[in-house]
Amino acid sequence: DIVMTQSPDSLAVSLGERATINCRSSQSVLANSNNKNYLTWYQQKPGQPPKLLISWASTRESGVPDRFSGSGSGTDFTLTISSLQAEDVAVYYCQQYYTTRRTFGQGTKVEIK
Amino acid sequence: EVQLVVSGGDLVQPGGSLRLSCATSGFTFSDHYIDWVRQAPGRGLEWLGLTRNKANSYTTVYAASVEGRFTISRDESKSSVYLQMSSLKTEDTAVYFCARSQTASPINYWGQGTLVTVSS
């Protein structure tokens, strides 16, 4: 199975500042057939199911604020929150869907400094 | 509106069995994959398995951690998916989610989850 490793495990950022979360996969999730990265980012708030933020490593879902962006390719990916808002406090997970056994990263907790 | 409603969570003794249900609505049931994901208290998300869509014969795939103990099945007449869990261990204590996905596509809708507690 592909192992997904996120860093850091947690971070505290001041309101309005940038938050950066990294995700590394143990093997490439880039498909040569269509040049797409099978990598998604979810946001989970306490007591709620995860919410899909970004798919294909960099495609923001409808309704997701543009302060959220995804980048990277192959094995190294980044989720950036350009200007942290209070409502962004949550745990963020990456997940690969390159293989049918879709594995998650361990999560990164984002808090306000 | 796409909905997935999970039910069946309960307190069960170690070694016991439990079946969770995921009732779906608002989309064409046979067109989509349904995944099961769990989250132990205070822990991260763990993907458990999925049932593919009808075009792929509703075949199933499981995570290594639960293969042989957990079984996913569908009832097309009820637009429902089931997770049969057996030989339960204390470490199976978690909130269990069902979610919708598609061939080589991410999970895009989630149910609210149901709590399973394995304890004597």
**If we measure between CA atoms, which residue out of B67, B77, B75, B89 comes closest to residue B18?**
B89
- pLDDT score for A83: 97
CB pair distance less than 8 Å for A106 and B99: no
Collapsed DSSP state (helix, strand, coil) of residue B90: helix
pLDDT grade, residue A82 (50/70/90)? very high
Cis peptide before A49 (omega within 30 of 0): no
pLDDT in tens, B34-51: 999 999 999 999 999 999
- Provide the percentage of residues in chain A whose pLDDT is more than 70: 100
**E strand map for B1-120:** 3-7, 11-12, 18-25, 33-39, 45-51, 60-62, 70-75, 80-85, 94-102, 105-110, 114-118
Chain B residues closer than 8 Å to A97 by CB: 101, 104-106
**12-41 of B, contacting A, C-beta below 8 A:** 35, 37
Residue B120 confidence (pLDDT) above 90 = yes
Four-point Cα dihedral B22, B28, B29, B34, nearest 10: -70
CB pair distance less than 8 Å for A93 and B46: no
CB pairs under 8 A between A and B: 58
Chain B residues closer than 8 Å to A102 by CB: 35, 47, 50, 101, 107
Residue B102 confidence (pLDDT) above 90 = no
Chain B residues closer than 8 Å to A37 by CB: none
- Provide the percentage of residues in chain B whose pLDDT is more than 90: 97
Answer whether A74 touches B (CB < 8 Å): no
Q: Per-residue pLDDT averaged across B69-94, rounded?
A: 97
pLDDT grade, residue B20 (50/70/90)? very high
Residue A13 φ then ψ, to 5°: -130, 145
Answer whether B58 touches A (CB < 8 Å): no
**If we measure between CA atoms, which residue out of B27, B12, B34, B10 comes closest to residue B87?**
B12
Answer whether A25 touches B (CB < 8 Å): no
Residue B58 φ then ψ, to 5°: 55, 30
**If we measure between CA atoms, which residue out of A39, A6, A50, A77 comes closest to residue B45?**
A50
Residue in chain B closest to A96 (alpha carbons) equals B106
Residue B76 φ then ψ, to 5°: -65, -35
pLDDT grade, residue A95 (50/70/90)? very high
Token representation of residue A19: 């938050």
Pairing of strands B114-118, B11-12: parallel
- pLDDT score for A90: 98
Q: Per-residue pLDDT averaged across B10-22, rounded?
A: 98
Answer whether A38 touches B (CB < 8 Å): yes
pLDDT grade, residue A22 (50/70/90)? very high
Q: Per-residue pLDDT averaged across A26-33, rounded?
A: 96
Residue B104 confidence (pLDDT) above 90 = no
- pLDDT score for B45: 98
Q: Per-residue pLDDT averaged across A24-33, rounded?
A: 96
Residue B103 confidence (pLDDT) above 90 = no
- Tallying the residues shown for chain A, one arrives at 113
- pLDDT score for A113: 95
8 Å CB contact between B51 and B60? yes
Four-point Cα dihedral A65, A42, B60, A24, nearest 10: 120
Q: Per-residue pLDDT averaged across A44-56, rounded?
A: 96
Q: If residue A95 lies in a helix (H) or strand (E), which one and from where to where?
A: strand A90-96
Q: Per-residue pLDDT averaged across B73-93, rounded?
A: 97
CB pair distance less than 8 Å for A97 and B106: yes
Answer whether B113 touches A (CB < 8 Å): yes
Answer whether A107 touches B (CB < 8 Å): yes
- Amino acid at position B68, single letter: G
